[in-house]
Structure 1
């Protein structure tokens, strides 16, 4: 039985890695290499898939019990989280048009830094001093990976003042990636604040069930206005190459399975284990993306990314120790 449970957990982790890295690489391929330059519409496809598959998993397959929205206030809280979630996914997809996956993952690894900042600003929650110290290599690593000459360059992002330590550095893509990382951290903090009351608590699968359709309501008009004619362009592309529809369907399905496997891995292990596995997943994604897309990576960039990952690992350990005290 223990052996069966171990193999089941390994299978879950493998599925989570595969879906997570798969959707990341497919996003990059569609938005950058394939030429489907519509990140808002792509995010809309993801949310439509999450809406449909969440309903199937919860209502039909009974993966988790169905939880209902109990009040109008709770609905508005979920809507606010959904809007921030949309912003994080859209800006993340936009950044993939301009940045290689390796650099994108390096910036994404700074999520703990933004989480700590937002937690302090919004709840005045202080961490142990050791936890804050571990954030120094997290941020320093990204500064090195981006090739900035100094902290001032990183803060003000002067287009005339950075050294191109990362050969594929792109200012707009960098700003979008920072925005996506900050939005993910803000959602995490707000989710803890808004849904902390017993009557408001939802597990991650039910939260996705309600957030995804609301996200679609936000994204549909945005896609039609900001990516004018995208549906007509998609139809024309599908006539010339039907594979674009196949890529979108697979990509959107993987976007849901990222959330499903994330939930199942957490359920069968722990949140801390998920965080540690997530650190390793980022490194794996970087290596695979370099092998597939052949994007140039400088020694400085790899050193900076390695420093960031080490910082995140130290941060996880510091958080674990602070909770144990």
Structure 2
């Protein structure tokens, strides 16, 4: 999918601040509930929409799960194996939708607080957008050959990838606790890969490269966009057009005209609802900001992944072995420890 999963982990010492992908959004923020201004219907001050945590967290979880399963449904049962096209469609839809919201609501008002010069766009936005595009495309290619549960298990390795890159560039200094976390998550992911019944090397390599691109993107956001306030919708406003343009340049060399010839298999309704849910995930992520503590949101993400894996087993018959359950449990324990310690 495009994810189509903005983290504030910069405060914890690890460069994880980023725009969420639609397939996987994690937070490390504080507060009781999210407050987002709605556009005023009449003259006067804009009202604030306040959504309690017990409402917005389930909405976010439902959107995240639905997007991934919906994409898998498009790729397999509908026989539309064109992830670059689908990713490009999601990004183009989001680029248009954010501009509509900018003119009709205050959800994208954060754009007005950012001075986007040509130099900043070329040196900062473009390279980050290129990494984001690569991450989305490679991750979606993995869904063509790997099961949803296995991919979710591999995604648990993302904090390790970020830490290793941070260590390599001396952004983060290694210590005993972090190395233990790296070992736990790595061991868990290794067991999950070892226990996979339908292991496909191509999909595995694609997902590993996607994690590398994603980790590099998150670090570059922290380094290049340090100090800029970008929530998920504002990030989409800037990055979606860039990624869509990059993808359009890639399509002729990867999928050609085949996706356009096969559009009848999907239909307009599926295309628009699929992109709409992916965009709704990013809107939900805006309201999710400042909902609960980092640990609460991490546990919500863990619960979401468990529900997603269970739903995938029921919907697509994806097999899970006992050794994968053990491995994923170890990875999740490492992830929770990582969040609980603030990444230090």
- Structure 1 residue 56, shift from structure 2 partner: 2.3
Counterpart residue number, 2:233: 205
Counterpart residue number, 2:156: 109
1:244 lines up with 2:303 in the alignment? no
2:76 to 14, 18, 32: 32
Over residues 266-296 of structure 1, what are the superposed CA-to-partner deviations in whole Å (9 max), with x where a residue is unaligned?
2333555433322222222111111111112
The 5 A counterparts of 1:1-325 are 8-65=52-109, 66-67=111-112, 68-76=114-122, 77-147=124-194, 165-196=195-226, 198=227, 200-235=228-263, 238=264, 241=265, 243-319=266-342, 322=344
Equivalent pairs counted in the alignment come to: 296
TM score, norm. by length of structure 2? 0.79
- Structure 1 residue 201, shift from structure 2 partner: 4.6
TM score, norm. by length of structure 1? 0.84
- Find the aligned partners of 2:98 and 2:183 in 1 and give their Cα distance: 38
What is the Cα-based RMSD across aligned positions, in Å? 2.3
Structure 1 window deviating more from structure 2 (16-25 vs 68-77): it is 68-77
**Aligned to 2:270, what secondary structure does the other structure show?**
helix
- Structure 1 residue 17, shift from structure 2 partner: 0.6
Over residues 40-84 of structure 1, what are the superposed CA-to-partner deviations in whole Å (9 max), with x where a residue is unaligned?
001001101211122223331111413344322210211111110
Instruction: Identify unmatched segments of 5+ residues in structure 1.
Output: 148-164
- Structure 1 residue 119, shift from structure 2 partner: 1.7
Flag the 1:305–1:33 CA change in 2: closer, same or farther, 3 A.
farther
**Greater fraction of residues in helix:** 1
- Find the aligned partners of 2:147 and 2:217 in 1 and give their Cα distance: 25
- Find the aligned partners of 1:4 and 1:114 in 2 and give their Cα distance: 30
- Structure 1 residue 127, shift from structure 2 partner: 4.7
- Find the aligned partners of 2:58 and 2:149 in 1 and give their Cα distance: 20
Instruction: Identify unmatched segments of 5+ residues in structure 2.
Output: 1-31, 36-49
**Native 8 Å contact 1:92 1:177 kept in 2:** yes
**Native 8 Å contact 2:93 2:275 kept in 1:** yes
